[in-house]
Structure 1
Amino acid sequence: MTKTVLITGCSSGFGEAAACLFADNGWNVVATMRTPVEAYAEYPNVIVTKLDVQDRESIKSAVSEGISRFGQIDVVVNNAGFGLFGVFEGTSREKIQEQFDVNVFGMMDVIRETLPHFRANRSGLFINVSSGAGVFGLPMISLYNASKFAIEGFSESLSYELASLGIGVKIVEPGGVLETKFGQRSGQEFSSSATPADYEPFITGAAAVFDGLRQSRGLATSEDVAKVIFEAATDGTNQLRYVATDDIKPLIEKRRGSSEAEYMAFMRRRMTPNIR
């Protein structure tokens, strides 16, 4: 029987690329987004529907529509998210709440809505899109880091809870992919923040750190990340974490393969801005 995947955040980036890849491989796809647009017309096995992770009624409606159209949902890809960029003190509590509402609580609500369907079938798989920022901390993205660290811990713990029910949980960890709209929104969020002037030297130095990271990056694309998401959905293993882009592999290897002292010395050398 043809399998069905529901993907959040399909208007661009990883979600759009994943929706096309699954459809090209014969899957039924429930491509969801906050504001549905005319897309995927060339795919008869794709439906586009509204799902705003901050609106639980829209989550319920999208899941129901997917099941009604295709009979069941086999995989859910929690991809929707955004990143706050800037120093913590310059970010309002309202923006922090939004960061967690979208990246963490919205993901949890999608899982909560789908779980009864998966339990009834004694099968199903959740793939939660995390980030390298869910493994290691970086300057200027403490709140995005916090949300992705939360996804990592929640997903691992949930995987233990659901294994006895035949339901899987996996995490995909991409790094920087420059052609997505993620950086554009992060820049807009930063421009609207109220940062104390005392941080200006740090921010200038941190910008140089990020420029260095960008210059050393590989040329990963959304399609590359989509391939890893598809692999996680189809490889038949119980592997928990998948590193999706080469640029973050050295940092992840340091985090997971070094002592705490070695790791922190490495990161402080590489990530601490040079302030004069």
Structure 2
Amino acid sequence: MSPVVLITGTSSGIGLAAAIQAQQAGYRVVATMRDTSRADDRLEGVDVRRLDVTDPESVTSVVESVVRDHGRLDALVNNAGAGHIGTVETDSVENYRKVMEVNYFGVVAMTKAAMPHLRAAGGRVVTVSSVGGVVGQPFNEAYCAAKFAVEGMMESLAPVAAQQGVTVTVVEPGAVASEFVANVGVDRESAIEAAGPYGASLQGYLSRTATAFSGAQTPDEAAATIISALTDEQPPFRLQTSDWARAFVATKLADADGTAVQKLTTGWI
């Protein structure tokens, strides 16, 4: 019987591409999203379900119904997430909490709900992090904090889960041309004006970011790494989606005192 994978955040971008590619790879795919009216036509034949990863009842009911309807759960892909631009002095604590709820606590809730079923199946947890889960980036304080938390959780969980037959992998995309960027919701001029003393630095960061995303990967290219994490016999814990992402992450992992990263990111602003 074909394995069952539940993927969060599949209305667009990497999640949508991963759902399509997983189905092509022979999985029974459960593609979840907050608003199922946004389901792409290419998900025809895929089991599309409503899920809000920040709602505990939604998380529990979806996981339980998937196991009831399909008889098993072999893999979870934690992909749902949201970006955020701001800096601590001019941003609100409430915004930080919201970013953590979606990007971190949503991952915790989904993984907790799925784990008993993944243990039974000898399954996999694949979590879409970011290069921002390794390298802190200017004006991404809340987002990087959440992704750092995801990486810390999963890196700690991996050996424990492995003892129970469950493989844990994080996937780290760099720039990806998708609706994710648009969904950050930054109006450039308004944001610069609202940034006060940080306006000039934010202007520099936004200009640099626009350049970075001009050469971004496609969602299909990034999603292929997720499929590798699902299908390779022994995937590593950490997978980047491009050569650029590998080089970027390597800067941090070899940077014991933080000097190299600070020099790099200071140049962005």
TM-score if structure 2 supplies the norm length?
0.91
User: Which residue of structure 2 lines up, in the alignment, with residue 126 of structure 1?
Assistant: 125
Aligned to 1:241: 238
- What is the SS of the residue equivalent to 1:255? helix
| Aligned amino acid, residue 16 of structure 2 | E
Shift in Å, 1:91? 1.7
Q: Does structure 1 conserve the Cα–Cα contact (< 8 Å) formed by 2:135 and 2:261?
A: no
RMSD: 2.2
Instruction: List gaps (5 residues or longer) in structure 1.
Output: none
Task: Indicate the residue corresponding to 1:220 in structure 2.
Answer: 217
Residue correspondence of structure 1 range 1-276 to structure 2 within 5 A: 1-37=1-37, 38-39=39-40, 43-44=44-45, 46-119=46-119, 121=120, 123-178=122-177, 180-188=178-186, 195-215=194-214, 217=215, 219-260=216-257, 263-264=260-261, 266-268=263-265, 270-271=267-268, 273=269
Contact kept, 8 Å, 2:8 with 2:15, in 1: the verdict is yes
Deviations 1:208-260 (A, max 9, x none): 33244335x3x411001111000011101141000013332332121123453
Moved more, 190-199 or 246-255: 190-199
Q: Secondary structure at the match of 1:138?
A: coil
The C-alpha deviation readout for 1:44-90, integer Å capped at 9, x for no partner, is: 3x211111011111111211221122211100000000011122222
For residues 40 and 200 of structure 2, the distance between their equivalents in structure 1, rounded to whole angstroms, comes to: 44
- 1:220 counterpart SS class: coil
> Shift of the alpha carbon at 1:185?
1.6
Question: CA deviation digits over 1:169-210, x for unaligned, max 9?
Answer: 1000001112x1111121348858994522222222222332
Mapped contact 1:51–1:59 kept (Cα < 8 A): yes
Distance apart, 1:101 and its partner CA? 0.5
Q: Structure 1 residue 124: deviation in Å?
A: 1.3
Is the partner of 2:222 in helix, strand or coil? helix
**For the residues of structure 1 that align with 2:213 and 2:121, how far apart are their CA atoms?**
43
Runs of 5+ consecutive residues of structure 2 not aligned to the other structure: none
Matched-pair contact (CA < 8 Å) for 1:53–1:107: yes
Q: How far apart, CA to CA, are the structure 1 residues paired with 2:220 and 2:195? A: 39
Aligned-partner SS, 1:149: helix
Q: CA deviation at 1:41?
A: 6.9
Give, in whole Å, the separation in 2 of the partners of 1:232 and 1:3: 14
Number of aligned residues? 267
* Partner amino acid, structure 2, of 1:163: A
Report if aligned partners of 1:91, 1:194 keep a CA contact under 8 Å in 2: no
Structure 2 residue identity aligned to 1:223: D
Residues 47 and 261 of structure 1: is their aligned pair in 2 closer, same or farther, counting only changes over 3 Å? closer
Distance 1:70 1:36, change over 3 A: same
What is the CA-CA distance between 1:104 and the residue it aligns to?
0.4
CA contact (8 A) 1:2 1:28 kept: yes
**Structure 2 letter corresponding to 1:141:** N
Deviates more, 1:138-147 or 1:242-251: 242-251
Identity of aligned residues (%): 33
